[in-house]
Amino acid sequence: MVSPAIALAFLPLLLTLIIKYRYFFVLFYRAVLIRIWKDCVTGLSREERAFQYVLTHATPGDPDSILDTFDVWCSKVEFISNIGPKKGKILDRLLMEHSPLTVLELGAHCGYSTVRIARSLPLGARLYSIEMDQGNAAIAEKVIRLAGFDDDTVELIVNPSDEVIPQLRSDYNLERLDFVFMDHWKKCYLPDLQMLEGSGLLGKGSIILADNVLFPGAPKFLRYIRKSGLYEWRIHRATLEYSKGIRDGMAELVYQGIK
């Protein structure tokens, strides 16, 4: 039997781990435990609950209000991994600077980032938003319409990204993508990027912005862009959305083409 003194000697380790990784514990609690609990209690999915909250609290037709409501819900009530207000600012800035005309969004989830992008697009620009999950897509659709963007501005495509991307050129008559925002499955970042390269939709100066490259993280993606030489890239360091202590980053890639 291990003596209690030895067990006590492990106390500092325990304390250290708890203090050091407190943000992760909090995140685990908010994103997993509460979610399971609420799922059981309400019988609705997380996205539906979020939409209900937005519907009751936000001003229809006002994207800012919708975004703010989302932020409040995500930081106070439950957790959904949207892009969040801080990293969203970076996104806004990039959009403002480059005012892209054709934007592709991979992973709409429940429409937060779609609204965010559509809000800062110039006149006449078009946003293609791809969402794999049916339920999420339905909610995203509702949120987008609630924010007052019509079909001309935002086109929601409900399909897995790896099926949609090769057909973008033929089905949607796209010539070139000015801006791509990636926020879907982290594992799909790299194949989708390669697919985009292969489709020839990226031109010189096209910008690709990938969220969550550090946490949960897309190491292969980062390794690839480091090596490939097709891009000028940088990582905007920030923290995970709605959480202070977890580091995260967005990778900004500018397609340079083959030199």
Partner 1 sequence: MVEKFFQDHERKMPRDSLITSENDSEQDADLSLQEEHESKTHRTKRRDGDRQKKKRRNERRKGGTRAREGEEDLQAVSEKRERSKRKRAKSKQETSRRENNEEEEAQLTGGKGTKARKDIRNEKTRRMEKKEVGEVEENVDKGKKKQGSTKKGEKKEDGGKQLVKGKAREVKKKKHKKAETSSEPETSEEDDDEEEDNDKDVVRPECLSPEELEKLKEAVDERKKLIQSLRGKPWSMKKKLATLRESQEFVEKYEGALGKGKGRKLYAYKVLMTKKWMKFQRDFENFKTACIPWEMKIKEIESHFGSSVASYFIFLRWMYGINMILFGLTFGLVMVPEALMGRPYGSMPRKTVPRAEEASAMDFAVLWDFGGYAQYSVLFYGYYNSQRTVGWLKFRMPLSYFLVGVGTVAYSYMVVIRTMARNANESGVGDDNSFNFSWKMFTSWDYLIGNAETADNKFASITTSFKEAILEEQESHKDDNIHLTRFLRVLANFLVLCCLAGSGYLIYFVVRRSQKFALDGLENHTWWERNEVNMVMSLLGMFCPMLFDVISTLENYHPRVALQWQLGRIFALFLGNLYTFIIALMDEINLKRKEEKIVKFNITMWEASLYNGTVSENSTASPVTINPADVPRGPCWETMVGQEFVRLIISDTMTTYITLLIGDFLRAVLVRFLNYCWCWDLEAGFPSYSEFDVSGNVLGLIFNQGMIWMGSFYAPCLPALNVIRLHVSMYLQCWAVMCCNVPQERVFKASGSNNFYMAMLLVILFLSTLPAIYTIVSIPPSFDCGPFSGKNRMFDVIHETLESDFPPWFSKVFSYASNPGLVLPFILLMVLAIYYLQSTSKSYREANVELKKKLQMQNEENKRKNKRAALKAQMDLEEARMTAQEQQRNNNASVQDQEDDTDIHSSVQRPCQEKYGCNPPPPVGGRGRQMPSSRDPGSRTYNRGNHGPSGYLPGFARQSEPRMYRVPSLQRH
In the complex, minimum distance from the CB of residue 24 to partner 1, in angstroms, rounded to a whole number: 6
Query: What's the chain's length in residues?
Result: 259
| Residues linked to residue 154 through DSSP beta bridges, in sequence order | 127
Asked whether 200 and 174 are in contact (CB, 8 A), the reply is no
Residue 77's identity, in one-letter code, is V
Query: Given 133, 186, 248, 252, which residue is catalytic?
Result: 186
Is residue 2 a contact point for partner 1 (CB under 8 A)? yes
Residues in 214-233 at the binding interface with partner 1, rule: CB under 8 A: 214-219, 222
Residue 186 is classified by DSSP as G
Asked whether 99 and 120 are in contact (CB, 8 A), the reply is no
Residues in 167-186 at the binding interface with partner 1, rule: CB under 8 A: 186
Q: Locate 74 and state its tokens.
A: 């995500």
Is residue 40 a contact point for partner 1 (CB under 8 A)? no
Residues in 16-35 at the binding interface with partner 1, rule: CB under 8 A: 16, 19-21, 24
CB-based contacts of 179, cutoff 8 Å, min separation 6:
94, 95, 98, 100, 102, 103, 104, 206, 207, 208, 209
Is residue 3 a contact point for partner 1 (CB under 8 A)? yes
Annotated catalytic residue 183: yes
Annotated catalytic residue 241: yes
Residues in 99-158 at the binding interface with partner 1, rule: CB under 8 A: none
Query: Given 183, 192, 248, 252, which residue is catalytic?
Result: 183
What are the catalytic residues? 183, 186, 211-212, 241
Site residues (vs partner 1, CB under 8 A): 1-3, 5-6, 8-13, 15-16, 19-21, 24, 186, 214-219, 222, 246
